[in-house]
Amino acid sequence: MLLQVLGTAAGGGIPQWNCACPGCSGARAHPHWRRRHASLAVRAAEGRWYIVNATPDIGDQIEDFPALHPGPEARHTPLAGLVLTDAELDHTLGIARLREARSLEVLATGAVRDALHTRLHLGAVLGPYTALTWRELPGERAEPLDEHSGLEISAIPVSGKRPRYAADSGPDDDTWVVALRLTDRATGASAVYAPALAAWPDALQKAVTEADCVIVDGTFWDDEEPRRTGISTRTATGMGHLPIEGPGGTAERLAPLGARCLYTHLNNTNPLVDPGAPQHERLAEWGIGAATDGMVIEL
């Protein structure tokens, strides 16, 4: 199994265009602090890749990763399709950026697909440009990522958090946000990718316990971070993100695991944005790390 981390930032990226917080200002002064929106490329087979979450940065993310470059024919692309973990704008706006494709397969839950069709009208908007083919993300029963792949994929429901534009629509269930489990049928290696976590259900605990690599939501360091930094009147959990540290934090769940554990989807207020922040040492004490843009993970 080969995974390429394309981006590791929460909505707005780092730096965010209208933000002068220490994280964004630091990224402007120190380019190596910069992070694109959280996304992951998964190799389904030789020359065939799926991108998990279509962020506003998707064009630049493809250009930064040679394995996704087109060729040798003029319009041949190794991008086989997209997988969506939710319907948030920072994970779906990039679909429109791919309108030049001859066709595009998108794996998503029914709730996510319906929101993108009925609220963002992606089918109607993109229909004159390209053909979108939707495939339901499998649940408990894993399925091959595609017919050419040795990888299996399944979705673990983790939250009923809707995006703001669809707050009053769709089913009231926890398929709005899912974690992905990827398994290599040849080796048995597995990875869990969960860039947004409002809860930690038993099914997720089982998956991470069995996984070789776990990449999860690290939006906020602690629960009070959004209020302390002035970006919100709500806590991290109130905004739909489990914090890293503190009561109910995800670090205490990850630390006992035997897997390689990494955080992604970092907000610009998160001290982990600064490579020299002492919170990195704290993570190392737990045996956890922060994923970086361009990181390659081979299992």
141-165 residue pLDDT tens:
999 999 889 999 999 999 999 999 9
Q: How confident is the model at residue 223 (pLDDT cuts 50, 70, 90)?
A: very high
Percent of the chain with pLDDT over 70: 100
What distance in Å separates the CA atoms of residue 291 and residue 10, rounded to the nearest whole number?
Answer: 13
What distance in Å separates the CA atoms of residue 40 and residue 36, rounded to the nearest whole number?
Answer: 11
SS3 199: coil
Q: How confident is the model at residue 170 (pLDDT cuts 50, 70, 90)?
A: confident
Q: How confident is the model at residue 96 (pLDDT cuts 50, 70, 90)?
A: very high
- Beta-strand pair 79-83/103-108: parallel
End-to-end CA distance of the chain: 5
What number of CA atoms fall less than 13 Å from residue 18's CA on the CB side? 3
Percent of the chain with pLDDT over 90: 96
Counts of helices then strands in the chain (DSSP H, E): 10, 14
| Mean pLDDT confidence for 125-152 | 94
Instruction: Look up the domain containing 180 and give its range.
Output: 2-298
64-94 residue pLDDT tens:
999 999 999 988 999 999 999 999 999 999 9
Q: How confident is the model at residue 42 (pLDDT cuts 50, 70, 90)?
A: very high
Chain-centroid distance, C-alpha 186:
25
Q: Record the pTM.
A: 0.97
What distance in Å separates the CA atoms of residue 94 and residue 68, rounded to the nearest whole number?
Answer: 15
**Residue 263's beta-bridge partner residues?**
216, 290
pLDDT of the residue at 173: 85
Number of compact structural domains in the chain: 1
Sheet strand arrangement including 39-45: 131-136, 103-108, 79-83, 48-52, 39-45, 2-7, 296-298
What does the mean pLDDT of the chain come to? 96
Helix (H) or strand (E) holding 284: helix 279-286
- In order of 1, 52, 219, the CA distances from 84 in angstroms are 19, 6, 18
> What CATH number has the domain bearing residue 264?
3.60.15.10
| Mean pLDDT confidence for 273-296 | 98
